[in-house]
Amino acid sequence: MTGGLRVIVTGGAGFIGSNLISWLLRHPAIGRITVVDDLSTGSTSLLGGDLADVDFRRGSVLDEGLLDAAMAGADAVVHLAALPSVPRSVADPVTTHHVNATGTLQVLEATRRADGPLVVAASSSSVYGAQPVLPKVETSRAMPLSPYAVSKLATEAYLGAYHACYGLPVLPLTFFNVYGPRQRAGHPYAAVVPVWIDAALSGQPVTVHGDGTQTRDLTCVDTVCEVITTAITGRVVSQWPVNLALGTRTSLLDLAGLLGEILGTGLRVEHGPPRPGDVAHSQAAPARLLELFPGTRAVPLREGLERTVAWHRQTRSDTRSYTDAGGSR
Ligand SMILES: NC(=O)c1ccc[n+]([C@@H]2O[C@H](COP(=O)([O-])OP(=O)(O)OC[C@H]3O[C@@H](n4cnc5c(N)ncnc54)[C@H](O)[C@@H]3O)[C@@H](O)[C@H]2O)c1
């Protein structure tokens, strides 16, 4: 690839990052893409054939030398690398802080040493925590309930501060519950949508923590990728965080019902105790998003979940045919 914008994606081998790479590779304004990822939660397998079209650098965002080398000549940095889990942060708050908060600081420092590319970074709706106002407005006070949420508050606050102090062009985006193809189950910190689909396809019951009336603003990964791609190509800047969700509200019980319909088998729901650090209700006020990105399109939940279920079915059948072909391994 020659010409076009030079983009760095940290965490590009993760769920959102690998989807974003596919979007960016299809966009005519994008030139070279460099991925920085230490593969701690991601996998190059998620990039599939796209791996050959990116400059993949395995390593941590805590490695200054690696960041400096990757950033030379960059027009934009999309900073997605993080340990993205509330329970993981409750179990090990210090590591979450290092990767998520210090990692963001290192990325910003490297950007400052480079020629000030646009920095788009992922924050999380968990920053709102115990804030009772619904829908969540960016101007309401953050009330984090977990070390993960604190690390994400640091992420968005550092971006704002680097804009104020050094004039860096920044865009902190507050993701809500993002779901879609390439979001994997099968690890202890997996998100609810892949865990439930995987359990149902294996004939297992799904666990609802608490009574299931808690609500989430489920956002299809395509919406997230579309907004970030527009941000890069249109060089959209905001000192203050922007919610990246469209203000929908789905209870966990309704999600279970819809997934059961799509799978055609229903979902067997079991209730477990509520998890520490989890928030009761999460719904974005999308006004700031729609002001900056007027064309943002919500993917209907059923459509997004159907594509997600299809990806899980395909992945399971690919794995089965590989195992069948290769015998016992
Ligand atoms: N998925 C969601 O619903 C959601 C919601 C809110 C915020 N976010 C944020 O979006 C971003 C992407 O999340 P995701 O769901 O794709 O998670 P993911 O775990 O699939 O991706 C994170 C990627 O970062 C990489 N990584 C972790 N530590 C690293 C380090 N020190 N150096 C370099 N790479 C490192 C991982 O290997 C992985 O590829 C994260 O910042 C997360 O906090 C996600």
Q: Which of 39, 105, 123, 175 to mutate to test the pocket of ligand 1 (most atoms within 8 A of CB)?
A: 175
Alpha helix segments (H runs only) across 72-191: 86-91, 93-96, 103-113, 147-166
| Ligand 1 centre distance from Cα of residue 324 (Å) | 32
| Ligand 1 centre distance from Cα of residue 88 (Å) | 13
Please say if the pLDDT value at position 215 is more than 80. yes
- The CATH code that applies to domain 5-179+219-247+280-299 is 3.40.50.720
pLDDT value, residue 187:
85
Please say if the pLDDT value at position 1 is more than 70. no
Please say if the pLDDT value at position 287 is more than 90. yes
Q: Which of 8, 9, 10, 16 to mutate to test the pocket of ligand 1 (most atoms within 8 A of CB)?
A: 16
Please say if the pLDDT value at position 321 is more than 70. no
| Ligand 1 centre distance from Cα of residue 211 (Å) | 28
| Ligand 1 centre distance from Cα of residue 126 (Å) | 14
| Ligand 1 centre distance from Cα of residue 301 (Å) | 22
Q: What is the mean pLDDT of residues 266-286?
A: 89
Q: What is the mean pLDDT of residues 41-51?
A: 97
- How far, in Å, CA of 77 to CA of 62, rounded? 15
Please say if the pLDDT value at position 247 is more than 60. yes
Q: Which of 96-100, 142-146, 259-263, 275-279 has the lowest mean pLDDT?
A: 275-279
Burial of 203 (0-12, 13-18, 19+ CB in 10 A): exposed
Q: Which of 18, 19, 38, 177 to mutate to test the pocket of ligand 1 (most atoms within 8 A of CB)?
A: 38
Nearest ligand 1 atom to alpha carbon 12: 39
What confidence tens digit (pLDDT) does each residue in 63-80 have? Answer: 999 999 999 999 999 999
Q: What is the mean pLDDT of residues 180-197?
A: 93
Contact 225/23 with Cβ under 8 angstroms? yes
Q: What percent of the chain has pLDDT over 70?
A: 96
Rg, the chain, Cα only: 19
pLDDT value, residue 325:
35
Protein residues with CB under 6 Å of any ligand 1 atom: 10-11, 13-17, 36-42, 60-62, 80-84, 99, 103, 122, 124, 175, 177-178, 191
pLDDT value, residue 320:
57
Contact 132/244 with Cβ under 8 angstroms? no
pLDDT value, residue 2:
53
Give the model's confidence band at 297: pLDDT under 50 very low, under 70 low, under 90 confident, else very high: confident
